[in-house]
Every structure is written in C-alpha cells, then in structure tokens.
C-alpha cells in the first residue's frame, strides 16, 4: 500500500512558508493574466489618448497588442519524503525556492501613424491651405470692390460738382441774358420815348415853321401884290383907255390888278405838267416868279425861294416850261410879272 505522507509538525514551519511551498493554483494564473491584460490595455489607451491629443483632428485608431504574459515558473514539486522507517525519523523536505518576482511589463513603442492618418493630415493641410487662399482671394475681392465703390463715389461726387458748376454757369448766363434783354428793352423804350418826344417837338417846330412860313408867304404875297399894283400903275400911265396919271388911284388901279382867282387859274394850268419820280415828303413850298408877254406867252421863270427839296423845285420849273402860255384874267389882260407859290398838296 502507498504510504501516507507524514504530517509536518506545526512547530517546525509557519503558515506563510506553507503558502510558499504550495504550488500555484489555476485561479492564481488567471488573476495574473487578467492583471497583465488590464495593464496593457491601460498602456494602449494612454498612448492612444496622447496621440489624439497631439493631433489637431482626432482620428479613430484601432490597435491590437499581443504580448506574451510572462509565466511564473512554479517551483518544482517537492519530492515525497521517504517512507520513514519505524526506527528512524524522516528528514524534513527541503524548502522550495522562492518564486521569481513578476517582471515589469515592457511598454510597447508608439506605433507609427497609420497611412490613413497621414493622408487625412495631408488632406486637412490642403483644405486649410485652400481655405487660406480662399480667404486671401475673398479679402482681395473685397478690397477691390471697396476700391471700386470708393472710385464710383468719387466719380459721382465729381459728376455732381460738375453738374452743379454747369447749373451755376447756366443760371449766371440766364441772369446775364435776362439783364441784357431788360437793358435792351429799357433802351428801346427810352429810344422810343425819345423818338416820340422828338417827333412831338419836330411836329411842334414844323407847325410853328409852317405857320411862320404861311405868315411870311402871306406877307410876301401881299408885298408882291403891292409891287405888281405899283408896276401896273406905272405901266397904266401910257396904256390907252387908262384914266388918271401916274399918281392916280382908286377904282382904276383896283381894276388894273389881277383878280383874286387868277393865281389859282395859273396853278391849275401848270400843275398837270408837274412830273415827280419820287414821293415828296411833307408839303414844301417853292416860290417862282413868272414873266409873260401881253399875249400870255411865258418869257421866263425864276426860283425866288426854294422849297428845300430840289426834286420838287426842278419839277415845278420844268412844268412851267411845258405850259408855255398863261391864261388871260377875267378882264382879258395878262400881268407881265407874277409871283406864284407851288405846293405838292394844295
């Protein structure tokens, strides 16, 4: 039969030594593996967190870490003590060597960034560069638009100033034109007023001159009549049938003078022969002395007083020449000398 192990006396070893001598159980192996896994998982999490903290945009990273869990070598099983002989006590079994200390877990080096992360970083950098270029382009466009807006505002201001200047010049020109027109109207009105006043003064002078001329003509006619009477008186001294001498007067002298209508008859005979090429302004008077023979033949004519219009004076003289012979007076006689006044409008 198999000999039973002898119980170790409690006086010879402690409980701790007993635990050390005991072989590791299956439960203790599972605890060590779990502990190692937890430590490695914590290490992987810390590395992952540090990589994500340094990156500007976190990227999901999946990593698997496989490491061999160091196995603690179990102490060799103690040899069974020899069967004690009845007469000799068995020697105590040697103490098992202490278990080796658990080695520190080796930290796995940080895995290099995966290719996908590098491409993502490149894409991110390109996107940021594109955004920077877009911002620069937007700023450039904004600056250009602002410059164009300022230039447009400046052009509008200059155009407004130019229009204002043109308007001011037009208003000034309009005022100057209105002032000139007003001055011209006033000048025309003054000239018209002066002309009307001058015309009134001229009319007054003409009227006075005509009245004076009429008085003078009447005086000259009366004087001429008296001279004719005196000449006729002198001639009648030798005329047959005349009564009285040279100093005679009265009815014989009055009968020897031309009748009152004789001058009108002579004018009526001469005027049809007056020919004018132009209209004679006014009513000028030309006084002509006409000498005639006893039979009425016109012997000569002389302009005693000009009318002031040469055309009228010449027309009257030519008309007398055309007439040629004067009509007889009511008593059948023809005065040898007559002073006749001719007007265009009698």
CB atoms within 10 A of CB 329: 17
Residue 255 half-sphere exposure, CB side, CA atoms within 13 Å? Answer: 12
Work out the pLDDT band at 283, boundaries 50, 70, 90: confident
Largest CA distance in the chain: 253
116, 59 in Cβ contact below 8 A? Answer: yes
pLDDT at 98 over 80: no
Judge whether residue 309 has pLDDT over 80.
yes
Taking Cα atoms as reference points, which of 293, 289, 344, 335 lies closest to residue 315?
A: 344
What is d(CA 234, CA 232) in angstroms, rounded to the nearest whole number?
5
Q: Is 42 left (phi over 0), alpha (psi -120 to 50) or beta?
A: alpha
In three-state secondary structure terms, 134 is helix
**Cα separation, 241 vs 239, whole angstroms:** 6
Angle at 57 between CA 55 and CA 61, to 5 degrees: 75
Q: Which CATH number fits domain 260-342: 3.90.1640.30, 3.90.730.10, 3.40.50.720, 3.30.1150.10?
A: 3.30.1150.10
Residue for token pair 């701790």:
16
Provide the pLDDT for residue 8: 44
Q: Is it the case that residue 291 has pLDDT exceeding 70?
A: yes
- Domain boundary assignment for the chain: 117-234, 260-342
The answer on pLDDT for 167 being more than 70 is yes
- Cβ atoms within 10 Å of 272's Cβ, excluding its own: 10
Q: How many CA atoms lie within 13 A of 113 on its CB side?
A: 16
- Residue 213 CA to residue 308 CA, distance in Å, equals 13
Give the tens place of pLDDT for each residue, 23-41.
555 555 567 677 778 887 8
The pTM of the whole model exceeds 0.85: no
**Residue 232 above 50 pLDDT?**
yes
Q: What is the pLDDT of residue 29?
A: 57
* Per-residue confidence (pLDDT) for residue 112, from 0 to 100: 58
- pLDDT of 335 > 60? The answer is yes
The sign one gets for the Cα dihedral 141, 145, 148, 154 is negative
Among 125-139, 160-174, 250-264, 274-288, the range scoring the smallest mean pLDDT is 250-264
Mean pLDDT (the chain, rounded): 75
> Residue 227 has what pLDDT?
73
Q: Which residues pair with 341 in a beta bridge?
A: 287
More confident residue, 208 or 82: 208
- Which distant-in-sequence residues (6+ apart) come within 8 Å of 96 by Cβ? 20, 21, 75, 76, 78
Contact 44, 65 (CB under 8 A): yes
* pLDDT band of 189, cuts 50, 70, 90: very high
Please say if the pLDDT value at position 246 is more than 60.
no
Strands 337-342 and 286-292, bridge-based pairing: antiparallel
pLDDT band at 11 (very low <50, low <70, confident <90, very high): very low
Q: Which of 10-24, 39-53, 213-227 has the lowest mean pLDDT?
A: 10-24
């Amino acid at each position: 039969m198999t000999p039973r192990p002898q119980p170790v006396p409690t006086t010879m070893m402690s409980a701790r030594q007993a635990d050390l001598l005991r072989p590791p159980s299956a439960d203790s192996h599972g605890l060590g593996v779990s502990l190692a896994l937890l430590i490695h998982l914590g290490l992987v999490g810390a590395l992952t967190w540090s990589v994500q903290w340094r990156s500007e945009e976190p990227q999901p990273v999946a990593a698997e870490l496989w490491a061999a869990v160091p196995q603690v070598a179990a102490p060799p099983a103690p040899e069974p003590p020899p069967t004690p002989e009845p007469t000799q006590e068995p020697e105590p079994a040697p103490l098992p060597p202490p278990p080796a200390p658990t080695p520190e877990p080796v930290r796995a080096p940080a895995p290099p960034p995966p290719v996908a992360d590098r491409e993502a970083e490149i894409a991110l950098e390109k996107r940021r560069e594109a955004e920077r270029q877009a911002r620069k382009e937007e700023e450039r466009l904004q600056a250009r638009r602002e410059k164009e807006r300022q230039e447009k505002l400046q052009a509008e201001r200059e155009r407004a100033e130019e229009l204002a200047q043109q308007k001011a010049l037009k208003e000034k020109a309009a005022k100057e034109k209105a002032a000139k027109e007003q001055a011209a109207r006033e000048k025309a009105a003054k000239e018209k007023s002066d002309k009307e006043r001058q015309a009134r003064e001229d009319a007054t002078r003409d009227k006075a001159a005509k009245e004076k001329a009429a008085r003078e003509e009447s005086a000259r006619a009366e004087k001429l009549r008296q001279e004719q009477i005196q000449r006729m008186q002198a001639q009648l001294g030798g005329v047959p049938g005349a009564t009285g001498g040279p100093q005679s007067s009265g009815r014989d002298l009055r009968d020897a003078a031309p009748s009152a209508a004789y001058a009108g008859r002579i004018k009526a005979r001469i005027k049809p022969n007056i020919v004018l090429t132009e209209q004679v302004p006014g009513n000028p008077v030309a006084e002509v002395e006409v000498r005639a023979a006893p039979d009425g033949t016109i012997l000569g004519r002389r302009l005693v007083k000009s009318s002031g219009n040469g055309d009228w004076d010449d027309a009257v003289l030519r008309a007398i020449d055309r007439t040629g012979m004067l009509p007889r007076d009511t008593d059948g006689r023809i005065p040898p000398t007559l002073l006749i006044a001719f007007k265009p409008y009698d």
